[in-house]
Amino acid sequence: MFLSLYITIMMIDFATTSYYLLKISKKNMGILFLFYSLVCIFLIVSDSFTSSSVMMHHLCSPTEAFALLHFKQSFQISDFRRCLDVTDLQYVDIPKTKSWNEGRDCCSWDGVTCDLFTGHVIELDLGCSLLNGAIHPNSSLFQLHHLHTLNLAYNDFNISSIPHSIGRLTNLRHLNLSRSSFSGKIPTEISHLFNLVSLDLSDNYDGLQLDETTFETILQNLTNLESFFLVPKLENLKLGDNDLLKGVLPKIHPSNTTLLELDISNSGISGELPDSIGTFSSLDILNLKGCQFSGSIPDSIGNITQIRYLDFSYYHLTGHIPSTISKLKHLTILGLSSNSFSGEIPDYFSNLQELSYLDLSNNSFIGSFPSTIVSLTHLQHLHLSSNSLSGPLPNNFSMLQKLTQLGLWNNSLNGIIPSSLFSLPLLGELWLNNNRFSGLPNELKINPNFERLSLSHNQLSDFFPQSLVNLTNLSNLDLSSNNITIDEGIQITFPSLQILKLSSCELKEFPHFLTNGKRLLFLDISNNKIRGKIPNWFRGIRWDNLRYLNLSHNSLTGHLPQFHFHNLEFLDLKFNSLQGPLPSSICNMNDLEFLDISRNNFSNSIPSCLGSMSSLKVLDLRRNNFTGSIPPLCAKSTSLITIVLNDNQFEGTLPFSLINCSNLEVADMGNNAINDTFPAWLGTLEELQVLILKSNLFHGPISSCQSTLCFPELRIFDLSHNQFSGSLPAKVFGNFKAMIKLDGEDTGKIRYMEPDMIPLYTSYEDSVSLVIKGQDIELERISTIMTTIDLSSNHFEGVIPKTLKDLSSLWLLNLSHNNLIGHIPMELGQLNKLEALDLSWNRLTGKIPRELTTMKFLAVLNLSQNLLIGSIPQGLQFNTFENDSYGGNLDLCGPPLSKQCGTSDSSHVPQPLESEDESYFFCGFTWESVVIGYSFGLVVGTVVWSLVFKYRKPEWFVEFFEGIYPKKMRRSMKRAQRRQT
Ligand SMILES: *[C@@H]1O[C@H](CO)[C@@H](O)[C@H](O)[C@H]1NC(C)=O
Ligand SMILES: *[C@@H]1O[C@H](CO)[C@@H](O)[C@H](O)[C@H]1NC(C)=O
Ligand SMILES: *[C@@H]1O[C@H](CO)[C@@H](O)[C@H](O)[C@H]1NC(C)=O
C-alpha cells in the first residue's frame, strides 16, 4: 500500500517536473494527467490485491523457498575463502546461503531477489558463495522458472558439466557460470534460453567445449543476446595450452543479431575468419585475441560500424588489412599485433579518428613510419614494434597530444630521433630500442613526465646525449649497446632514476653522475672498457635500494672493496681482473641470491660465511686462484642451486655439509686439488644433474650409494683425470634414472619464457666445460639431452659392464685411458642415442662387435690403442670412421685400414708401445683430426633443452641455435615449440 502511494506521488512529481522541463502545452498536460491517473488507479487496485495475498501467504512462495533450501543442501560449503578475480581479489568469510532458513521470508535471504508484485524469485546471485559439488540435472534449481538472472560464478562445481536442464529456465536474461570449474560440453539446451541478454561461460575448467552447432544455434536463436563471454582459464594460457575450446566460428546467416559483446579470446576456436563476421553488425566489442584463425580479415568487417573495441591479436592472419576497416569510425581500441600482416601500413588508419589504442606490433609491415598515423589526435598508446619499418621518423608528432606510450622497438628505423616526439606533454614511455637511430637533437624541450626511455641497440655515438640530462622524472633509462661514452664533466642528476642500463657501450670509467642516483635499484655497466680500480667514490656509496649490480666484462683491477649495498640480490663481476681475497662483507648481503665472480684473479681462501648465506642460489667462482679448503656450503641453508668452483686451487676434502644442499642442480668442482674419495653420499641430492669432479686428486673405488637414492637426476657425470681405481661402478650406473629415461621426449615439463614473464633481472645459465668428443668445450648452456659419462684417465680395471646399455639416453661415453680388459660388450650397440664413444688406451681384447654398427647417431668412435683383433665391422656409421679410430691395436683388419683380412702374417706380433706420445704420432692420430672429422659429420650439439636458472625461480627454458643440431632434432623441437605457441 505504501509502495503504491509512493509510486503515485513520484509520478505526479515526475509529471509536474516534466511540465516545467519540457514546457508541455496545457492540452498535452491534460492527457498526461489522465494517463497517470489511470496508472495510479491500476497500481492501487493491483496493490490491494497483492497485499491481500500477502496476508494469506509469505511473499515468497513456499515451493520456491523449499527449492532454494534444497539447492543449498545439495552442496558442501567449501573452505576456500577467496574468489580470485582478474582485477580484484574478494575475500569471503560468510557464504550468502548462511542467512537462508525457513524461519524467514526467502525474499529477504542474501542473494535472493523476488518480484515486487508476484513474489516469485527472479534473481539468484550466488556468485562467490563457496558452493562445492555438482548440479544434478534434477536439481530443484530448475523449478525456479521465474528466474531472470542467475549468477553462479566463482564457485566450485567440481569439474561437473553444465546440466542440460538449464534450458528449462526460459525466462533467464542474464546467466553467469564463469570461473566455477565446470567442464564438458556446453549443452545445446542453452540455446533454448531465448530471452538471454548476457551469457558468461568464461574461465572454467580446462575441458569446457563448445561444438560448432551449439555455437551456431546460440548465435542464431538467442536474438536478444548482447554479450557472450567464453574466455578460457587464464592459468592455462600461460602454459600455452589453448586447445580448450575446439571448433570454428560458425558461419551464421545474415540475421538481426543484437550481439553487442563477443569475447571468445584465447579459445581454441579456429579455421578461417568467416566472411559472415560482418553480420554481427551490432557489435560494440569483439575480442577474438589469441584464437587460431587463419586467412585474412574479410572485407565484411567494415559492416560492424558501431564497433569500438576490436582485438585480433595473436592469430595467424596474413595478407593486407582490408580498406573497409576505415569505416569503423567509432573504433577506440584496435589490436592487430602478432599476426603476419605484410605490406606497408595502410593510410586508412587515419580515418579512425577515435582511436586511442593501436597495436600493430609483431607483424611483417615494411616501409617507412606511416605519417598519417600522427593525425590520430586521441591516440594514447601506439605500438608498431617488431616489424620491418625503415627510414627516419617524421618530425610532426605534435598532434599526438594525448600519447603516453610509444613502442617502435625492433625495426630498422634510422636517422635522428625527432624533437617533436619528446615535447609531447603526456608521453611517459618511449621504446626505440633495436633500431638504427644515430642520434638525438642537441637541444630538446623534454616534457618533465618522461619516465621510461629505451634507446638500447642503436647507433648512438660519442658522448652521453646532453639533451637528456634534465629528465627529472626519469626512472628507467636503457642506453646499452650503443657507441656512447660519458663526458667526465657532464652534469646529470636524474633524481628519480631506478634502472640504468649502460652495458655494451664505450664507457672508460664509472659514470660519476651515479653519485646522485639515490634511488638506484638496478645498475648494469657490464661489457664496457672500464679499466683500473673501482673508484673510491663508488666504494663509499650507500644505495639502500640497489638490488642488481653488474660490472662484468670490464678490465677492473685491484681488490674488491667492502660494498655497502646491503640489499643486493644480484652481483656479477665475472670477466675482470680483480684480485686479492673476497671480502667477508659479501656475507652481510642477506638477500644475495646470485654471486658470479668467475674469471678474475681472486686468491686466498674464501670466507666460510658463504656457507651460511640463506638466500644464495648461484655461486660461481670458476677460474680464479682461490686456495684453501672449500667452506661448509649449505651449512645453514639449502638455497644453493648451482655451485661452480672449477679451475681454482681448492684443496682438502669436499665439505660434508653439501649433503644439505637439497636444491642443488649443478656441482662443478673440476680442476682443483681436492683429495678425497668418491662422494657417494651426494647421491641423495634429488635435484643434482651435473657432477663434475674432473682433474682433482680423487682416489679409491667408486662406492655404491648407501641409500635408495643414487643420483636419480644426474645427466653429466665427469670423474676424468683423477686416480679412481677398482672396477667400473656397474651398480651406480644402474641407478642413474635420468639417463635411463630420455627427457628430450618428455616435453610436458618444458615451458617457454613468455615476454611478460622475463624477469626484471637477467637469467643465469649454467655452463660447464666438458671434453666433448675430444675437445674441451665450454657449454654455454647445459641441455638435458647431454647425458655424458666421462671416467677417462683414471685407473679403472676390470671389464666394461653390460648394464651400461640401460643408460639409453647416453650421448657421450668416455672410458679411455684406463686399464679395462675383456671384450667390448655387444650390448653397447643398444645405446642408440650415443654420439661419441671413446674406449681408447685400454687393454680391450677380442673383436669389435658387429652390433655397434646399429648406433645410428655415432659420430665419433675411438677404439685405438687396445688389443682388438679381427675384421672391422662395416656399414652405416662405421663407413664414416677413418684409420685413427682403430690405430695401435693388436690385429685389426679391413677397411678403413689398409691391412686386408685373411692375408695377415700370423707370426706377426706388434711391437709393444714405447710411450703414449710415440704411438700418437705413429698412428697419425690427433684429437684435432677427430674434431675436424666429425664437425662435418653429425655435428656437436651445443644448445638444446637448456638447464637455466632464471633469476627469480629456476625453470626449464628452451632455446636452440639453428644449424648446430641435427635436422631431425631441430624439427622435433620446432614442433614442440609450435605446440607451445
Ligand atoms: C530481421 O528483421 C526484420 C524486421 O524486423 C525481419 O523482417 C527480417 O525477417 C529479419 N531477418 C531475419 C534473417 O531474421
Ligand atoms: C557487408 O560487407 C560486404 C563486403 O564489404 C558487402 O558486400 C555487403 O553488402 C555488406 N552487407 C551489409 C548488410 O551491409
Ligand atoms: C691425499 O690425502 C691422503 C690422506 O689424507 C694422503 O696420504 C695423500 O698423500 C694425499 N694425496 C695427495 C696427492 O696429496
User: Which of 224-233, 642-651, 804-813, 901-910 comes out lowest in average pLDDT?
Assistant: 901-910
Question: Residue 351 corresponds to which cell in the numbers above?
Answer: 580515418
Report the distance separating Cα 722 and Cα 68, nearest Å. Answer: 78
Q: Give 320 Cα–ligand 2 centroid separation in angstroms.
A: 18
Q: Give 279 Cα–ligand 1 centroid separation in angstroms.
A: 13
Atom number, ligand 3, closest to the C-alpha of residue 675: 1
Q: In this structure, which ligand is nearest to the CA of 676? A: 3
Q: Indicate the burial class of 790 (C-beta count within 10 angstroms; 0-12, 13-18, 19 or more).
A: buried
The one-letter amino acid at 731: K
Predicted confidence at residue 61, as pLDDT, reads 85
Predicted confidence at residue 798, as pLDDT, reads 93
Averaged pLDDT, 6-30: 38
Tell me if 675 CB under 6 Å of ligand 3.
yes
Tell me if 784 CB under 6 Å of ligand 2.
no
Tell me if 278 CB under 6 Å of ligand 2.
yes
Predicted confidence at residue 232, as pLDDT, reads 58
Which residue has the CA at smallest separation from atom 8 of ligand 3?
A: 675
Question: Residue 400 corresponds to which cell in the numbers above?
Answer: 599526438
Report the distance separating Cα 743 and Cα 722, nearest Å. Answer: 30
Which residue has the CA at smallest separation from atom 12 of ligand 2?
A: 303
pTM, two decimals, is: 0.71
Which residue has the CA at smallest separation from atom 14 of ligand 2?
A: 303
447, pLDDT greater than 60: yes
Atom number, ligand 3, closest to the C-alpha of residue 723: 13
Residue 721, by phi and psi: left (phi above 0), alpha (psi -120 to 50) or beta?
left
Tell me if 302 CB under 6 Å of ligand 2.
yes
Report the distance separating Cα 264 and Cα 249, nearest Å. Answer: 10
What would you measure as the largest C-alpha separation in the chain, in angstroms?
138
Q: Give 301 Cα–ligand 2 centroid separation in angstroms.
A: 9
Predicted confidence at residue 472, as pLDDT, reads 82
What is the dihedral sign for C-alpha 776, 781, 784, 785? negative
Q: pLDDT digits over 657-685, tens only?
A: 999 999 998 899 999 999 999 999 999 99
Q: Indicate the burial class of 967 (C-beta count within 10 angstroms; 0-12, 13-18, 19 or more).
A: exposed
On whether the CB atoms of residues 233 and 203 are closer than 8 A, the answer is yes
Averaged pLDDT, 422-449: 88
Which residue has the CA at smallest separation from atom 12 of ligand 1?
A: 255
Where b means 16+ CB within 10 Å and e means fewer, 444-459 reads bebeebbbbbbbbbbe
- The mean of the pLDDT values for the chain is 77
On whether the CB atoms of residues 465 and 440 are closer than 8 A, the answer is yes
Question: Residue 27 corresponds to which cell in the numbers above?
Answer: 492540452
Q: Give 302 Cα–ligand 2 centroid separation in angstroms.
A: 8
Helices 2-22, 26-56: crossing angle, 10 deg rounding = 160
Tell me if 697 CB under 6 Å of ligand 3.
yes
Report the distance separating Cα 702 and Cα 683, nearest Å. Answer: 12
Distances (CA, A) of 863 to 345, 363, 510, 553: 62, 53, 55, 42
Predicted confidence at residue 249, as pLDDT, reads 55
Atom number, ligand 1, closest to the C-alpha of residue 254: 13
On whether the CB atoms of residues 584 and 609 are closer than 8 A, the answer is yes
The listed range with the strongest mean pLDDT (17-31, 768-782, 820-834, 892-906) is: 820-834
Averaged pLDDT, 490-509: 88
Distances (CA, A) of 288 to 221, 229, 301, 319, 643: 21, 11, 13, 18, 47
Query: Pocket of ligand 3, candidates 675, 676, 725, 795: which has the most ligand atoms within 8 Å of its Cβ, to mutate?
Result: 675
Report the distance separating Cα 617 and Cα 613, nearest Å. Answer: 9
Pairing label, strands 89-91, 82-84? antiparallel
On whether the CB atoms of residues 702 and 722 are closer than 8 A, the answer is no
Q: pLDDT digits over 945-961, tens only?
A: 222 222 222 221 112 21
Q: Ligand 1 site: residues with CB under 6 angstroms?
A: 255-256
Higher pLDDT, 971 or 644: 644
Tell me if 673 CB under 6 Å of ligand 3.
no
Report the distance separating Cα 205 and Cα 226, nearest Å. Answer: 24
6, pLDDT greater than 50: no
Pairing label, strands 788-790, 812-814? parallel
Where b means 16+ CB within 10 Å and e means fewer, 467-490 reads bbbbbebbbbbbbbbbebbbeeee
Q: Give 269 Cα–ligand 1 centroid separation in angstroms.
A: 28
Report the distance separating Cα 802 and Cα 704, nearest Å. Answer: 17
Tell me if 324 CB under 6 Å of ligand 2.
yes
Report the distance separating Cα 600 and Cα 597, nearest Å. Answer: 7
Query: Pocket of ligand 2, candidates 252, 300, 304: which has the most ligand atoms within 8 Å of its Cβ, to mutate?
Result: 300
On whether the CB atoms of residues 688 and 664 are closer than 8 A, the answer is yes
Predicted confidence at residue 224, as pLDDT, reads 78
Report the distance separating Cα 891 and Cα 848, nearest Å. Answer: 11
Q: Give 288 Cα–ligand 2 centroid separation in angstroms.
A: 21
The fraction of the chain above a pLDDT of 90, given in percent, is 37
Question: Residue 50 corresponds to which cell in the numbers above?
Answer: 497483492
Contacts of 244 (CB under 8 A, 6+ apart): 206, 207, 208, 209, 232, 233, 236, 267, 268
Averaged pLDDT, 868-884: 87
Q: How confident is the model at residue 732 (pLDDT cuts 50, 70, 90)?
A: confident
Q: Give 529 Cα–ligand 1 centroid separation in angstroms.
A: 75
Higher pLDDT, 95 or 773: 95
* Secondary structure of residue 869 in the 3-state scheme: strand
Tell me if 871 CB under 6 Å of ligand 3.
no
Please give the domain boundaries of the chain with CATH numbers for all domains: 1-57 (no CATH), 634-910 (3.80.10.10), 951-980 (no CATH)
User: Which of 246-260, 410-424, 828-842 comes out lowest in average pLDDT?
Assistant: 246-260
Averaged pLDDT, 513-531: 89
DSSP for residue 290: T
On whether the CB atoms of residues 588 and 615 are closer than 8 A, the answer is no
User: Which of 77-81, 480-484, 591-595, 761-765 comes out lowest in average pLDDT?
Assistant: 761-765
* Secondary structure of residue 262 in the 3-state scheme: strand
Cis-peptide into 607, omega within 30 deg: no
Q: How confident is the model at residue 761 (pLDDT cuts 50, 70, 90)?
A: very low
The one-letter amino acid at 161: S
* Secondary structure of residue 764 in the 3-state scheme: strand
Residue 825, by phi and psi: left (phi above 0), alpha (psi -120 to 50) or beta?
beta
74, pLDDT greater than 50: yes
Helix, strand, coil distribution of the chain in percent, nearest 5: 25, 25, 55
Higher pLDDT, 901 or 524: 524
Which residue has the CA at smallest separation from atom 5 of ligand 2?
A: 300
* Secondary structure of residue 77 in the 3-state scheme: strand
Averaged pLDDT, 958-977: 26
End-to-end CA, the chain:
64
Question: Residue 234 corresponds to which cell in the numbers above?
Answer: 587464464
Report the distance separating Cα 768 and Cα 746, nearest Å. Answer: 23
